[in-house]
Amino acid sequence: ADLFERTAEELARHGLSCECLGGGRLAHRPEERKIHVYGYSVGFGRADHAVTTEKLKAEYPDYEITWADEGY
C-alpha cells in the first residue's frame, strides 16, 4: 500500500491518476534465475498473476518465471 500511495502521489503531481488492480508477492532467486509470483494483498486483493508473469518474462527472458494463486 505504501508503494502504491507514493506512486499515486508522484503521478498526481504530473496530472495523472492510477488504479491498483491487485497485489501479490515475488520470490526472486537470482542465483537460480527464477522468479515466482504468488499471493495477494490484504488491502487490494489478488492481481492477475498471469499478466504479471508475462510482463516479467518480457523483461527477464533468461529467467524461469512461474506463478500460483495460493500463498500469502
Bridging pattern class, strands 25-29 and 34-38: antiparallel
Residue 46 lies in a domain: yes
In a domain, 2, yes or no: no
pTM: 0.80
Q: Is residue 51, in this structure, part of any structural domain at all?
A: yes
Q: Is residue 58 part of a domain?
A: yes
Which tens digit of pLDDT belongs to each residue from 38-70? 999 988 999 999 999 999 999 999 999 999 987
pLDDT of residue 1: 63
Average pLDDT value for the chain: 94
Residue 7 has pLDDT above 80, yes or no: yes
Is residue 15 a part of any domain in this protein?
no
| Boundaries of domain holding 40 | 21-71
Domains identified in the chain, total number: 1
Is 1 a domain residue? no
Strands (DSSP E) contained in 1-72 are 25-29, 34-38, 64-67
CATH code, 53: 3.50.20.20
